[in-house]
Amino acid sequence: MAFTGARLITAAGPDIADGVVVIQGDKIAAAGAAGSVQIPAGAKRIDVSGRVIMPGIVDTHSHIGEPEGGDSSAPIQPDARVLDSINVRSATIEKARAGGVTAANVMSGSGHLLSGQTLYLKLRKGNTIDDYLIHLSDGRVAGGIKMANGTNPRRDPPFPGTRAKSAALDREEYIKAQEYRDKIRQANGDLTKLPPRDLGLEALEDVLDGKRTVQFHTHRQDDIMTAIRLSQEFHFHVVLHHVSEGWMVANEIAKAGVPCSVIELDSPGGKLEAKDVRFETPAILYRAGVLVAIHTDDPITDSRLLLRSAALAIRGGLPRDEAVNALTINGARMLGLEQRVGSLKPGKDADLVVLSGDPFSVYTHVLETWVEGRKVFDRSDAKDRLYAVGGYGASHDQGFPDLDGEEDR
């Protein structure tokens, strides 16, 4: 199929006033200016004149699907997998599609030092969680590890009561993981010498080996530096999330080469450590040389309002093109998925959003959301529009597919 007539925001170069996007199967076959892109004979043409097409939005920090991770039995639980707790029938997933979100890092909460394994999901139409998974080239399911520091994980034993003890417990667990990995390597395939299997240490071994990125909830400037310090001590990849006081230590974050996934709040509150959150944080980090993405932390910010969050970052001084990148390709890089998603380039997954106008205008609506060449949201459909605008039934779980494959909601 070929979309014609729209202004293209590619996240791979300058905007194209009159553009064409050609999709073949689940991939983008071509994207460029009208006249420079050959539309294959027999392709279905979709006239979107007067509209805007941008890459599918990548939400780097979300809780859609109502995921749960660790429980109150311990502060560090890397064996817990949100894979086993996501409700794919939750209306929150439909609302994310209504906001143009096509991929999301779905995580458990921040009430633990380490609450478990996150999942990077494609928001395809699906019947079970398996239909949403992203499989990597080596067959693994894409996902990270959720860690947190600051106020949230501090409570009564066995949880830590101070910031220092929080970091101490993290170190103890990573040292155990190093020792576990060393024993496996020393066994050299000899089953009699292998240590007993430990699912938690196995997950942390993936972190130490660079197979999982740590997604680290942190707000205060001293907590930010502690998160960086831990990543340097144990040589793991980390993305800092929220960074309410990141503007205070922007140069230090840049020097460490650590990306930041930022939340933009126009009604701060709820915790003392976020009292100095600023609209300007993404701009300050960007000018310091930090890779910046913007996330929802849904339900803290509604997935339907992620475009608005980026507009607030522009108001705070983030260049417009960088605001686009913060919603798309930068988030893809933080999830290690930049070869598949995040920009309108040939060979990438056909994930795109059709907008009624400029993405950062309050008057603009998401009209359609496409994932891998399939339409997953259509504002002109009354059922989909309900999730976009709200009303009775907008928070009800989805039903089961009919025999004809059409979803009964």
356 domain residue, yes or no = no
Q: How many CA atoms lie within 13 A of 172 on its CB side?
A: 10
As a whole number of angstroms, the distance between CA 33 and CA 7 comes to: 9
Tokens read off for 85:
């707790």
4 domain residue, yes or no = no
Q: State residue 400's pLDDT score.
A: 59
CB 105 within 8 A of CB 337: no
323 domain residue, yes or no = yes
Q: State residue 408's pLDDT score.
A: 39
Please give the tally of structural domains in the chain: 1
46 domain residue, yes or no = no
Q: State residue 265's pLDDT score.
A: 87
As a whole number of angstroms, the distance between CA 250 and CA 293 comes to: 14
Q: What are phi and psi of 386, to 5 degrees?
A: -55, -45
State the DSSP string of 265-291.
Answer: -SS--S-GGGTT--TTHHHHHHHHT--
Peptide bond before residue 158 is cis, with ω within 30 degrees of 0 = yes
The per-residue pLDDT string of the chain (409 residues; one tens digit each, 9 = 90 and over) reads 999 999 999 999 999 999 999 999 999 999 999 999 999 999 999 999 999 999 999 999 999 999 999 999 999 999 999 999 999 999 999 999 999 999 999 999 999 999 999 999 999 999 999 999 999 999 999 999 999 999 999 999 999 999 999 999 999 999 999 999 999 999 999 999 999 999 999 999 999 999 999 999 999 999 999 999 999 999 999 999 999 999 999 999 999 999 999 999 887 667 888 889 999 999 999 999 999 999 999 999 999 999 999 999 999 999 999 999 999 999 999 999 999 999 999 999 999 999 999 999 999 999 999 999 999 999 999 999 999 999 999 999 888 565 345 443 3
**Which CATH number characterizes residue 324's domain?**
3.20.20.140
203 domain residue, yes or no = yes
Put simply, whether the predicted model's pTM sits higher than 0.75 gets the answer yes
Peptide bond before residue 299 is cis, with ω within 30 degrees of 0 = yes
Q: What is the DSSP letter of 330?
A: H
Taken in order 106, 293, 315, 219, is the CA torsion positive or negative?
positive
H or E element at residue 202: helix 199-208
Residues β-bridged to residue 135: 141
Give residue 91's Cα distance to chain centre.
18
As a whole number of angstroms, the distance between CA 244 and CA 261 comes to: 10
Burial of 184 (0-12, 13-18, 19+ CB in 10 A): middle
Burial of 116 (0-12, 13-18, 19+ CB in 10 A): buried
Tokens read off for 297:
């932390």
360 domain residue, yes or no = no
CB 297 within 8 A of CB 89: no
- Reference 295, options 285, 305, 283, 281; nearest CA is 305
- Reference 335, options 66, 55, 118, 54; nearest CA is 118
Tokens read off for 16:
């194209």
Q: State residue 404's pLDDT score.
A: 45
134 domain residue, yes or no = yes
Residues β-bridged to residue 368: 354, 378
Domain hosting residue 259, numbered range = 56-342
Rg for the chain, CA atoms, rounded:
22
Q: State residue 272's pLDDT score.
A: 86
- For residue 146, give the amino acid letter: K
